[in-house]
Every structure is written in structure tokens, then in C-alpha cells.
């Protein structure tokens, strides 16, 4: 715009200087016809000799002179400047050249893009002169100028031309590039590759791009030199083959025709044989070529015109010599004159017409013109006009615009020659007034008006309307706020009203603009228990700007009227109101004021529609999740929003869930809370008199009707991936979408009317957050709030949950409801509540634990233990952990450390903090690097089995060292804050923290930075993936364990570890056991819960967006947590070994998609994981813990604690045990040899430290399952009977022995034979016994092997 004005200024100065000449010209123009003829003849003769090149000064003077001479048909302006400040002159030629009129297609020629290709520069000057001088004389030229809006830029690269040398045919002298040495025809955005050029180095390209996008040219020619041919799109291809790859556009046949028109009218070009000295054998069939088929040109201007500019452009190469002698200029003009004119005339082929609105005939700009079978659309101009170039034939042509019913004309006949007229009239499906804006409201001017809107009848009926004597102050400045202006506005009000306004950012856009949110409340920085959270979001589509400005107005209104206006004061005191004026600031910056139904700026800067980018219940959204979407999803899950509205433009209606259905059909898709959504939607529409009528843009769309001004989303049209449905399905928040008017980007002058029409509606909608029921769910024992308790309403299949402080809000329509509150580990409570017509019903729940009185005694907590339990509770509820993170910032220099530096760092920590650290060697790697573990505790060298022990392991894969660096920073963070920060000091004093930063130092030495997918360094020095080497049964192992594995296995097998967290890379999620394929997982609830704790405290992980380009994973994983085998199943993992043999739950955290990201990203990764790491230190103190002893108080070591009949833990020294469990009620069984089993039920809370219980064993008095006394008595009676029986037998035997004495002498006679027989029998018995012994051993070994296999 400045350049344009500059051109006008020069022209004006020239007029002043040549005032006498102009007056003389005017006088002559009134002379007789003979005088006119004489003047024309003299002018033609003096205009051009065709014998010299014009330098920049000559060119400028010549163009200005022509503009002065032909002011009615010529207008000279500049679209920008070159690097060296030279103007990029453009001569516009048409009748009435100073104004834009409908009905004229825009055509342009651009020359001298390469500064040393000079024929085009002169030829276009000649063309300018020819058109001007022949207008009114030759019918062909007169018609062309009258019916066409012609723009001619003789030189796009004036700096390069000044450097070039006449006679240089090959370009050796330079001048091709601009003054920054950039090739302008390699500097445009490209569809197949990213053009890496500093924008400041190509002001010429930036100026021309802006010109192209703003002008809606229909046809264009780009004139070059170096051969003789007409080249057409595409200029490059996805393969970027150097040559020979035909890259076809959707209008390929049309482009061939256009190129042929130029070539066939050029005497040399049409032969197809340029006969250039440097390429004598090069030929082009018919004198034309596909650009990429000739040679690949990435970043070319002609492709940019076609893909981004509504314009078809070809490139004409005019001469073999780039800068031929000036003596050839006459010849070149003769060669190209007819081609230039014939090509211009092609702008009038195809179909042309207007698109208007059905009600009052208003022109509709930016309507898409779609030709069936050709996948390339163009859009209408500001007058609703369009010009679609087509070859002769029969076509089906459609006009499509958002908010209008599409219209198709079938069998449209396109003949050779002039374009077929084809007008469209679109019927709206949504409404606005004639100009698309709400009607002006009487009594509300742009200044601070104190008069209420006269047409808002419901305002006076509102019970909260201020009395007449204290009318609220209205916003005083209505204008469009670009990003910087908006940022200043928000900062101003945040600073001016700090007691009620707090500005924060939830993240950044794709172009790094902050996504600002202003929260307004009487205590804006924190969530207050009992106070609902409300939000407004505007400008999700960047070109739908009314919501953005209304929200800025609302911020001003609430701040200015707080304390004086009763309604505003009540809302601010009772509600925490979050206002995001712009969710898509990047899109806004490219949108244009006055845009009614366009798309420019709708999407974000990555060209994705943010309202189609959220996870959907019916459709898999395959487009990559955008930074704006991720930031908002994280924001919504971090705040307990109750009610929300998403402000859009393009219609006038309140739209409520669901936005789509399973089949994708446009039909009513009700959600379980359909009645609630209708209620809140009507609350808005009824306060907007125009919206409530149900006929949006009534004069434009008379057939469109929304009953009460509201509609179900899917009934209107399907929107997969919308934000409002995601809110309802994934958070406690009920969100609607409000369309504020038919004009997406209205003029600033209309903004006061929008504010007047929507002010009452916006306030009334905020009031809706105080409908239904609200209350607190608390623990009956101490009254503390229970977080994440479920509130369910009978008959409505949609639950909400309590906040971290136990409060909840449940929107309901008036009526009677049976409401149940439930929480893990507590007995549910049901209450019948009556929801009033106005206001909210208070319903509190007090829940009782399922098992308050365990059979075993509880240890009596001392005051220190009670204080620690309160400390854990404070960190677990509310913003406790966030406050800890914010209060412990440390300055760090992040970088990757190799083995030597890592070892020195660990030693340095130990030497600098000897009282709280202990450094030990676990073993050595294959290449003899020491694997070290650092223990942090207040007594690191003293066994303290009563304290929970947590293990952090990094670097199991050497090519994924992020975990290593996070753990080193974590260790430093803990040490540096010990003794300085009370919370960190307390955690270290009560916890044994073992940090093993690098398990695979050999692999780490091989890995390289910035290698996101490389497997180099993944394995150890022997090529073994260590996460496949952990086996507890020798029968499962092939070969010996790796030395690194053996070292860590020994660490795991040390009793006493309560929790383990391992780190890896390549994705963004947390996994839990098992890695091996198993049908079911014991204690899966607990393992998944622990992974959820980490993920939920990570700003991105909990969103579940785990798809990484390098891993092939796509889609969403709920909460960012998945069982490890579902991600990648394998045997021998560390976490499986930890669970099965170390009896310690272990989760694996994948820190990001890139395995080895640049060191610059480490600070961000640390910030993302810091809270999660601290949450593990808090979580390890929960679950169930205690001591097992006998009646005498002696601890029992090795007792087995069976949890829920499956998972086992064992008591350590002192009889202590500790097990983490998912919140809820659990059965616990204690078993020890020689003692009676003990059973009891325990309740685990998500926010309380584990209560220590004591399990006392009695000696087991049962023998074979029978009472000891009974067994002893029975045994005594049996012994007595045996003694009596023995005595009787002895007596009988004694009596017989006397009668048999005489027979003994017979035995002596055969003693020798008898002894031999006895000896043989004895030997056989021994052999048999030995045989049996070997047989038993063999069977035992087989049984052992079989058991191992099982």
C-alpha cells in the first residue's frame, strides 16, 4: 500500500512539474478533428524507436509519461520494492482504470523476473504503449482494453537488470538473481518441497505474492529468456527428477491449449526448434512443454499462481540469447506482438458469471466454483464475479459456499470463443440481515452509551438487571484487534484490575503466538472450592472474528462494572470465568476484513481446520493433532470446567451436541443430556432477539429455520473432530457452539451492533453454570474432599467427577432426580434431589470407607507421622504439586553427557552432597564401563526398611538418552533443594531414591544426537537388546545373561523396592506390565493406575496423542497409557522381571517421538516431566504398608503378603512391607510358616499416605487341621493301647519259647549254608535299594524340569 501511494505521489509531482504541458494538452484536445489526428500521428511516431534498452530511470520515466498521457485507461502503481529500493512498477490498463468494476477478468504479464533475461522487459513496455495508443483506433484493442482488467509488470527484478550486461547471452556476467543473490523463480512456496529462504532476502517475491493473493487474477504470463518455448504447470514433481518426469495438473489440457495459443502465434516458437547455440539439438513438440518434463523447478511462480492465487499462468521463453543486442528489439517485438495479444484474449473463454444471494441479490464473494471432474476450484471476487477458463465441451458446474445450499448447473455448453454466461443464485441455510450484520440497535452508539438496547425485550425482565439509576458502563472502543493490539489490550486490563483479572497462556500456536486466556473472578489465580469454572472460546476459525471482539468487549465490561453493577459483581464473585479471545491467532492474521463467507484464515497456519482436529467418538481423525488443539485439550483437562461456549461466525444459531453420528448422516444425534443442552442453548438465543426468531439472515435465506434459534449439530450438518463433542465426552464440561452472524469478518463499524445484540445473551449464558445441582463429596471420617468421585444421575448415561478438592457441579433441567456419589474404597451414597426452576440445588455427600476397622491393630501414629500424612495429602489435592513445581525452579545447562562426563557428574553429586547421597557400582558393561547407581536419602548408608524405596532407571537403550539426562537433572534438582525447600527435604527424608541413569553405557557411546529413528546404540557391546535379556528361569534363557543385565537383576532382587520407573523413547506414553504376551495381568488395575499417575501429570502425555511418524503408531491411546504388550510384545523385559521376581511394579515412560532429539529440546522435556517425576515420589508413599510380628513383638522376616488373592510381597528386615495399590478396597492375607494366617480388608486412597498397619501372628495350634489338644490326647491314648498290646504279645511269646528250645540244635547243623543265603539276600537288597535311590533322583529332576517349563 505504501508503494502504491508512493507511485501516486511521484505521478502527482510529475503533474505539478508539467502543469503547463498538461494544460496545453487539454486545450489541444478541444481542437478540431484535424488537430486530433495530427496529435495522434505525432505521438505514435515519437513513442518508440525500438533501438535501446531502458534502465530503471528510463523505465520509470517512460511509464509515468504514458500514465499521464492516458489517464482514463492507464494507472501506474507499485506493488512493492526490490532489495535496493527500486519500485516494482505495474501499469494497469482498462477503461476507468482508477476504480474496480465488476465484469472484467483480471489478466497480468510479468517480465524480467531473472534480471539478465531482458527481452521480456522491453517487449512489455512496447505492449503497454501499443495498447494505450491503439485504444479507440483498432476495434480489437479497444474491445480488449474495455473488457479486460490488464496489469503489466515489465520488471520484477530491476536490481538484477542493472547488474546485467548487454550482449551476454548465457548469463555469465550475472544479474539473474536479485541483489541478495536469490533466484526469484525458486523462492515461492512449493507443493512438493519446503523452500528454505530468508523472507527478508526476497522482498520482490513477498510483494508479488501479496499482489497475487489480493487481486484474484484469472490468467497470467511470466516472460523469460534463454530458449524459445511455452512451458506450463507443473514445474516440479514429488520425485524431483531432474528432467523427463511429466507432472500433470488438474487443468493439464487447458494449460496445453493456452501454451499452444502463444506458441502457434510466434513464428519461431511454433516450429519447436529454437536452434539455440548452447543447445542446438533441443526441440519442443509444437513449441510447448510441461515444466517438470523439461527440467524440475521447485519454488516457481507459475505453480504458485495456480495452487494459491486463483490464476492460471504459463511461462514463455522468448529468445535464445538472454540479453541480446538492442538491435534485435524490433524483431523480438514483431515476433511476440500477436502471441501476447492472442494469449490475453484467452482470459475470456470458458464460463463466467455472478453468484448472488437469493433474497436480495447481494453479491457473494469467495464462493467456490466447482467443475465436476476437475479437481481444481476457484472462488468469486468481491463483486461475486467469477471467470472459469475451460476448453469447449459440456460440464456440470457448481457454486458452493458455507451457509448456503449448493447450486449445480448441469450440461453447461462451453463453445469455442467467448465465455458462456452462467450465473448462480444461492439460497442461505443460515441467516443474517441484508449486509450480514445484526441490525443496528437503537440507543447503543460506539461510545460509552448508558442506554440499553431497545430491541432486547428480555433485558428488562431479567431479575439480575441493574436498576435504572445504575446502568452498566458499556465498552467504549469498537475496532478489530490484531494480535499485538489484542495482547496489549489483555495486558492492560490484567494490570489495571489485578484483583479480579489474571492473564495466562495455555500454549502457543503453530507460529508461536500465545494462546492467551483472561480469567476473571474475585480470586482469579486459584480454583475456589464450590465455585464453578466457566469458559468462552473465540476465533477458532481465524476469519470468524466477531467472537474475538465480543470477548474483548466482555472483558472490558466485566472489569469496568465489577463492584458497581450488581449482576456483574455477582457473576464475578460466584464464578471463575475464563475467556480465550483467539484460539487461532495465526489464521486471524491472514484473514481480511469484509470477508463474508470466505476461507482465507479459517484454518491454522498448517492449513488444518481446528474444529475438525479433536478426537472423535465415531470417526478416526487421521490429520496430525495441531499445537493449538493439543494446548486446548491439555487446558480443558487441567481445569474443572462446567459450561462453555465456542463462538463462531457464518450463521446465527446456537448449536449443541452431538455434532455428528455413527453413519455420518445429517440427522438428529442426541446426547444423554439433550434436554440440558437445549436449556442452555435457549438461554442464549432467547436473549438475542434476532437469533431467537429462528430465521438467520432472513432476507438472504428465507427457507432456513431454526426453532427458537437453536439446533442439534448433526441435524444441521456433520462435524467430525469437533471441540464441543470432545468437551462433553472427555471432561465434565458441557459446551455449545454459537454462530454469531452471517458475516465472518464484518466491518469495524458494525461491531457496536454485535455487542448490543449479544451482551445480554453472553451474560445470561454465564448464569447457566449455576443451574442443576452442586456440592461436595467428602470423607465421613475427617470431612476432607474426595477427588475423582463419580456423580451419576439415574436415567442419564453420563457421569461427572469431583475436582481435586471434592467439589462438583452437575447441570440438570428442573425436576426430581436420584443422584449417587461413589468412589473407590467407599460405600456409595444415593440422594433424591429436587432441581428448582431457577438457581442450583446444594447436595453434599459424605462417604464412609468400605472397611474402617481392620482386624489387625493400627500403629499409633505419632505427631510427625500425622504431619507427613497431611503433607502427602496437600501435595495430592488441589494445586499442591503445581505449587511445588513452581517453587523449585533451578537454573540448569542442559546437554548430553557421555560416559566419562556422566561418571564425573555422579561422583560430583556424591562429593558435594555426601550426607544425602551414596554412590555404588552395580557392575560393568561388556566394554568394562562401570554401571553406577546413586541413592538419595537422609541416611543413604543405613538400611531403613520402614521407608518406601523407589527406583529410576534410564538408558536401557543407548540410542534413547533423554531418560538419562532427565534422571541426572532430577538427581541434581533433589540435591540442590535439600535443606532449602521444605517439601523436597521432607520427601528425601521419608524416601529412599535410587537413580540408575545409564544401564547401557556402551550403546550410548555409539548413538548420535539428532537421530530420531536410528537404531545405532540401541544394543549393548555384544549387539544384545538388554530389554530382551531379563529371564528368571534358566530354562528360558539361551546363553548367559549380559553383564549389564546381571548387574541390574541383582539390584532388582534386593528386597524392599516399592516402585520402579524406567525411561525410553520413540513415543509419548506410559506402559505397564507385561511386555510378554499374556491373557490376563494380575493386579492390572494397580499397574495401569501407576502409569496413569505419571501420564496425568505430564502436559502432553495424558492427551493420548501417541502417533509418531518414526514408529508407525497412529491414533489415540486413552489417557496416554497402554499395556506394554499392546504396544510391542516381547520376552525378557526388565519390567516383567521386576514384577515377577522383584515383586516390584515397574512402568516405562516414553519421553517423546524422537529417540535422540537435539540438546536444545532437553530443557523443554525436563519441564514436561518434572511434575510427573515428583508425582512418583509422592505416589510411592501411598497404598498399604505395615509390619508383621508375633505376639511377643518379634518381627517376622520373609512373611508373604498376598494381595487380592494374587500379587505377593514379602516382609523385609524388621518385618516391614509396603505395596502400592489402585485406590479402593482390597483384601490382604498374611502367611508365615508356623503361624496362623491373617486376613483383613484395607482401603487405599488416591490422595492419602498409606496408613501403617500391624499384623500379629499367633502360633499355629492346629496339627493336620485339628486342634492341638485333641491331637495330643488322641496320641496319648494310642500310645497306651500300643504298650498294653505289646505286653500281651510278649507274654504269649514267652510261653511258647520253652517248648521250642529243643529244636535249635537243628539250625546249627546248617549254619554255613544259612549264612551264605543271608549274605546273598542282603546284597540283593542293597542293590535294589540303590537302584531305587537313583530312580527317585531321576524322576525328581524330570519333575523339576517340567515345572520349570510350565
CA 995 – CA 439 distance, rounded (Å): 68
Helix, strand, or coil (residue 750): helix
Tell me the three cell numbers of residue 225: 529468456
Name residues whose C-beta falls within 8 Å of residue 465's C-beta, 6 or more positions apart in sequence: 459, 567
Tell me the three cell numbers of residue 676: 440440558
Contact 559, 496 (CB under 8 A): yes
**Residues forming beta bridges with residue 738, ordered by sequence position:** 647, 654
Of 295, 181, 158, 301, whose CA–CA distance to 227 is shortest? 295
CA 1063 – CA 1040 distance, rounded (Å): 25
Helix, strand, or coil (residue 348): helix
CA 975 – CA 243 distance, rounded (Å): 62
556 is catalytic: no
Contact 147, 192 (CB under 8 A): no
Place of cell 437469533: 691
Torsion on CA atoms 1328, 1331, 1333, 1338, rounded to nearest 10: -150
CA dist list (Å): 152 to 110, 131, 156, 339: 6, 11, 10, 15
Tell me the three cell numbers of residue 80: 512493492
Contact 146, 103 (CB under 8 A): no
Question: What 8-state DSSP symbol labels residue 1218?
Answer: E
Query: H-helix or E-strand containing 1225?
Result: strand 1224-1231
Of 282, 311, 152, 302, whose CA–CA distance to 232 is shortest? 302
Largest CA distance in the chain: 185
The one catalytic residue in 48, 129, 567, 739 is 739
Q: Residue 234, preceding bond cis, omega within 30 degrees? A: yes
Of 95, 74, 220, whose CA–CA distance to 148 is shortest? 95
CA 1135 – CA 1147 distance, rounded (Å): 7
Residue 138: count other Cβ atoms within 10 Å of its Cβ: 13
Contact 296, 203 (CB under 8 A): no
CA dist list (Å): 276 to 69, 235, 1099: 40, 22, 63
Query: H-helix or E-strand containing 712?
Result: strand 710-712
Helix, strand, or coil (residue 475): coil
Residue ranges of the alpha helices (H) in 1081-1157?
1084-1096, 1124-1127, 1134-1140
CA 835 – CA 818 distance, rounded (Å): 11
CA 1116 – CA 1105 distance, rounded (Å): 5
The one catalytic residue in 87, 204, 317, 704 is 317
CA dist list (Å): 405 to 424, 701, 713, 1090: 11, 9, 17, 52
Of 1069, 966, 958, 965, whose CA–CA distance to 1018 is shortest? 958
570 is catalytic: no
**Between β-strands 641-648 and 533-538, what pairing exists: parallel, antiparallel or unpaired?**
parallel
CA 1223 – CA 1229 distance, rounded (Å): 18
3-state secondary structure 2-39: HHHHHHHHHHHHHHHHCHHHHHHHHHHHCCCHHHHHHH
Question: What 8-state DSSP symbol labels residue 1195?
Answer: B
Phi/psi zone of residue 324: left (φ > 0), alpha (ψ -120 to 50 degrees), beta?
beta
Among all residues, which ones are annotated catalytic? 317, 739
Amino acid at each position: 500500500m505504501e508503494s502504491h501511494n508512493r507511485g501516486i505521489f511521484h505521478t502527482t509531482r510529475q503533474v505539478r512539474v508539467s502543469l503547463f504541458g498538461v494544460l496545453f494538452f487539454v486545450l489541444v484536445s478541444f481542437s478540431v478533428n484535424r488537430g486530433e489526428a495530427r496529435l495522434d500521428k505525432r505521438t505514435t511516431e515519437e513513442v518508440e524507436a525500438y533501438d535501446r534498452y531502458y534502465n530503471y530511470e528510463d523505465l520509470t520515466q517512460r511509464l509515468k509519461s504514458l500514465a499521464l498521457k492516458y489517464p482514463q485507461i492507464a494507472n501506474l502503481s507499485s506493488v512493492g520494492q526490490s532489495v535496493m529500493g527500486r519500485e516494482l512498477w505495474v501499469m494497469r490498463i482498462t477503461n476507468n482504470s482508477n476504480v474496480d468494476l465488476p465484469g472484467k477478468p483480471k489478466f497480468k504479464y510479468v517480465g524480467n523476473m531473472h534480471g539478465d533475461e531482458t527481452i521480456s522487459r522491453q517487449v512489455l513496455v512496447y505492449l503497454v504503449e501499443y495498447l494505450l495508443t491503439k485504444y479507440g483506433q483498432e476495434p480489437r484493442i479497444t474491445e480488449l482494453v474495455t473488457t479486460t482488467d490488464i496489469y503489466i509488470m515489465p520488471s520484477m527484478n530491476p536490481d538484477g537488470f542493472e547488474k546485467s550486461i548487454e550482449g551476454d547471452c548465457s548469463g555469465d556476467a550475472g544479474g539473474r538473481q536479485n541483489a541478495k543473490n536469490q533466484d526469484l523463480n525458486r523462492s515461492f512456496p512449493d507443493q512438493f518441497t519446503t523452500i528454505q529462504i530468508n523472507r527478508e532476502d526476497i522482498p520482490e517475491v513477498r510483494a508479488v505474492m501479496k499482489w497475487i493473493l489480493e487481486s484474484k487474477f484469472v490468467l497470467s504470463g511470466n516472460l523469460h529468456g534463454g530458449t524459445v518455448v511455452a512451458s506450463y504447470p507443473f514445474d516440479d514433481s514429488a520425485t524431483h527428477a531432474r528432467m523427463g518426469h511429466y507432472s500433470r495438473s488438474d487443468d493439464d489440457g487447458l494449460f496445453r491449449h493456452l501454451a499452444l495459443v502463444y506458441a502457434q502465434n510466434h513464428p519461431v516458437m511454433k516450429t519447436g526448434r529454437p536452434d539455440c547455440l548452447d543447445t542446438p539439438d533441443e526441440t519442443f513438440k509444437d513449441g510447448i512443454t510441461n515444466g517438470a518434463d523439461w527440467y524440475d523447478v521447485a519454488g516457481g511462480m507459475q505453480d504458485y499462481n495456480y495452487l494459491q492465487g486463483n490464476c492460471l499462468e504459463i511461462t514463455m521463453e522468448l529468445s535464445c540469447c538472454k540479453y541480446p543486442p538492442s538491435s534485435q528489439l524490433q524483431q523480438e517485438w514483431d515476433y511476440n506482438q500477436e502471441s501476447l495479444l492472442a494469449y490475453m484474449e484467452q482470459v475470456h473463454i470458458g464460463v463466467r458469471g455472478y453468484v448472488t444471494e437469493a433474497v436480495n441479490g447481494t453479491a457473494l464473494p469467495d464462493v467456490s466454483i466447482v467443475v465436476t471432474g476437475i479437481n481444481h476450484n476457484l472462488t468469486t471476487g468481491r463483486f461475486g464475479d467469477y471467470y472459469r477458463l475451460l476448453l469447449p465441451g459440456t460440464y456440470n458446474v457448481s457454486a458452493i459456499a458455507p451457509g448456503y445450499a449448493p447450486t449445480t448447473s448441469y450440461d453447461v455448453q462451453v463453445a469455442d470463443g467467448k465465455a458462456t454466461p452462467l450465473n448462480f443464485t444461492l439460497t442461505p441455510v443460515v441467516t443474517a440481515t441484508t449486509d450480514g450484520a445484526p441490525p443496528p440497535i437503537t440507543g447503543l452508539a460506539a461510545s460509552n452509551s448508558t442506554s440499553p438496547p431497545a430491541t432486547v425485550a428480555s433485558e428488562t425482565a431479567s431479575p439480575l438487571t441493574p436498576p435504572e439509576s445504575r446502568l452498566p458502563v458499556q465498552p467504549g472502543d469498537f475496532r478489530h484487534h490484531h494480535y499485538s493490539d489484542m495482547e496489549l489490550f489483555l495486558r492492560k486490563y490484567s494490570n489495571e484490575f489485578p484483583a479480579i483479572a489474571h492473564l495466562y497462556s495455555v500454549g502457543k500456536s503453530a507460529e508461536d503466538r500465545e494462546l492467551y486466556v483472561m480469567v476473571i473472578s474475585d480470586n482469579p489465580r486459584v480454583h475456589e472450592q464450590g465455585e464453578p469454572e466457566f469458559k468462552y472460546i473465540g476465533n477458532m476459525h481465524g476469519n470468524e472474528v466477531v467472537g474475538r471482539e465480543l470477548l474483548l468487549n466482555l472483558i472490558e465490561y466485566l472489569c469496568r462494572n465489577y463492584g458497581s453493577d450488581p449482576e456483574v459483581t455477582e457473576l464475578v464473585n460466584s464464578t471463575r470465568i475464563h475467556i480465550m479471545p483467539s484460539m487461532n491467532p495465526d489464521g486471524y492474521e491472514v484473514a481480511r476484513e469484509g470477508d463474508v463467507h470466505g476461507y482465507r484464515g479459517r484454518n491454522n497456519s498448517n492449513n488444518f481446520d481446528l474444529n475438525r482436529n479433536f478426537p472423535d467418538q465415531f470417526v478416526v481423525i487421521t490429520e496430525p493433532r495441531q499445537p493449538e488443539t493439543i494446548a486446548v485439550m491439555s487446558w480443558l483437562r487441567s481445569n474443572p470446567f462446567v459450561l462453555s461456549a465456542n463462538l463462531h461466525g457464518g450463521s446465527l444459531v446456537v448449536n449443541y451436541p452431538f455434532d455428528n453420528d455413527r453413519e455420518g448422516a445429517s440427522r438428529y444425534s442426541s446426547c444423554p443430556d439433550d434436554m440440558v443442552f437445549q436449556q442452555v442453548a435457549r438461554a442464549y438465543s432467547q436473549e438475542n432477539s434476532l437469533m431467537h426468531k429462528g430465521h438467520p439472515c432472513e432476507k438472504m435465506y428465507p427457507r432456513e429455520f431454526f426453532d427458537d434459534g437453536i439446533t442439534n449439530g448433526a441435524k444441521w450438518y456433520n462435524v467430525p473432530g469437533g471441540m464441543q463433542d470432545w468437551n462433553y465426552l472427555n471432561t465434565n464440561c458441557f459446551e455449545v457452539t454459537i454462530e454469531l452472524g452471517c458475516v465472518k469478518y464484518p466491518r469495524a463499524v458494525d461491531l457496536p451492533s454485535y455487542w448490543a445484540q449479544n451482551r445480554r445473551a453472553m451474560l445470561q449464558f454465564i448464569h447457566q453454570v449455576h443451574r442443576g445441582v452442586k456440592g461436595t463429596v467428602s470423607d465421613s471420617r475427617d470431612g476432607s474432599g474426595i477427588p475423582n468421585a463419580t456423580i451419576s444421575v439415574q436415567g442419564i448415561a453420563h457421569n461427572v467427577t469431583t475436582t481435586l478438592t471434592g467439589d462438583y457441579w452437575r447441570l440438570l433441567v428442573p425436576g426430581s432426580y436420584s443422584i449417587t456419589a461413589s468412589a473407590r474404597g467407599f460405600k456409595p451414597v444415593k440422594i433424591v434431589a429436587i432441581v428448582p426452576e431457577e438457581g442450583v440445588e446444594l447436595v453434599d455427600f459424605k462417604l464412609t470407607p468400605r472397611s474402617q476397622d481392620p482386624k489387625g491393630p493400627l500403629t499409633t501414629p505419632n505427631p510427625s507421622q500425622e504431619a507427613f500424612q497431611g503433607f502427602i495429602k496437600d501435595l495430592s489435592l488441589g494445586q499442591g504439586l503445581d505449587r511445588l513445581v513452581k517453587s523449585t525452579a533451578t537454573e540448569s545447562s542442559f546437554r548430553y553427557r557421555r560416559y566419562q562426563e556422566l561418571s564425573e557428574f555422579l561422583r560430583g553429586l556424591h562429593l558435594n552432597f555426601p550426607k544425602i547421597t551414596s554412590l555404588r557400582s552395580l557392575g560393568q558393561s561388556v566394554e568394562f564401563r562401570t554401571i553406577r547407581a546413586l541413592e538419595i536419602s537422609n541416611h543413604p548408608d543405613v538400611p531403613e526398611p520402614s521407608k518406601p524405596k523407589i527406583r529410576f532407571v534410564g538408558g536401557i537403550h543407548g540410542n534413547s538418552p533423554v531418560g538419562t539426562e532427565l534422571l541426572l537433572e532430577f538427581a541434581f534438582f533433589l540435591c540442590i533443594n535439600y535443606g532449602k525447600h521444605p517439601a523436597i527435604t521432607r520427601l528425601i527424608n521419608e524416601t529412599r531414591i535410587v537413580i540408575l541413569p545409564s544401564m547401557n553405557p556402551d550403546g550410548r557411546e555409539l548413538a548420535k544426537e539428532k537421530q530420531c529413528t536410528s537404531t545405532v546404540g540401541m544394543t549393548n557391546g555384544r549387539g544384545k537388546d538388554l530389554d530382551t535379556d531379563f529371564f528368571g528361569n534358566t530354562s528360558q534363557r539361551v546363553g548367559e545373561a549380559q553383564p549389564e543385565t546381571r548387574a541390574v537383576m541383582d539390584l532388582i532382587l534386593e528386597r524392599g523396592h516399592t516402585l520402579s520407573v524406567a525411561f525410553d523413547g520413540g513415543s509419548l506414553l506410559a506402559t505397564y506390565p507385561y511386555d510378554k504376551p499374556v491373557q490376563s495381568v494380575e493386579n492390572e488395575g494397580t499397574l495401569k493406575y501407576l502409569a496413569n499417575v505419571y501420564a496425568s501429570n505430564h502436559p502432553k502425555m495424558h492427551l493420548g496423542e501417541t502417533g509418531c511418524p518414526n514408529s508407525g503408531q497412529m491414533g489415540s491411546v486413552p489417557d496416554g497409557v497402554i499395556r506394554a504388550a499392546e504396544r510391542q510384545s516381547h520376552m525378557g523385559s526388565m519390567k516383567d522381571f521386576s514384577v515377577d521376581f522383584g515383586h516390584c511394579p515397574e512402568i516405562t515412560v516414553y519421553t517423546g517421538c524422537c529417540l535422540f532429539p537435539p540438546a536444545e529440546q532437553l530443557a523443554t522435556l525436563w519441564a514436561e516431566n518434572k511434575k510427573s517425576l515428583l508425582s512418583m515420589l509422592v505416589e510411592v508413599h501411598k497404598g498399604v504398608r505395615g509390619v508383621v510380628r508375633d505376639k511377643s513383638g518379634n518381627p517376622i522376616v520373609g512373611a508373604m503378603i498376598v494381595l487380592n488373592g494374587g500379587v505377593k510381597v514379602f516382609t523385609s528386615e524388621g518385618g516391614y512391607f509396603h505395596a502400592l495399590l489402585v485406590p479402593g478396597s482390597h483384601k490382604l492375607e498374611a502367611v508365615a510358616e508356623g503361624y496362623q494366617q491373617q486376613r483383613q480388608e484395607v482401603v487405599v486412597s488416591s490422595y492419602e499416605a498409606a496408613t501403617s498397619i500391624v499384623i500379629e501372628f499367633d502360633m499355629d495350634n492346629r496339627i493336620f487341621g485339628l486342634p492341638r489338644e485333641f491331637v495330643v490326647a488322641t496320641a496319648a491314648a494310642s500310645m497306651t493301647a500300643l504298650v498294653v498290646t505289646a505286653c500281651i504279645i510278649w507274654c504269649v511269646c514267652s510261653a511258647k519259647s520253652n517248648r521250642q528250645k529243643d529244636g535249635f540244635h537243628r539250625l546249627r547243623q546248617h549254619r554255613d549254608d544259612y549264612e551264605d543265603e543271608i549274605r546273598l539276600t542282603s546284597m540283593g537288597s542293597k542293590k535294589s535299594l540303590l537302584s531305587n535311590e537313583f530312580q527317585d533322583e531321576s524322576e525328581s529332576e524330570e519333575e523339576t524340569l517340567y515345572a520349570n517349563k510350565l
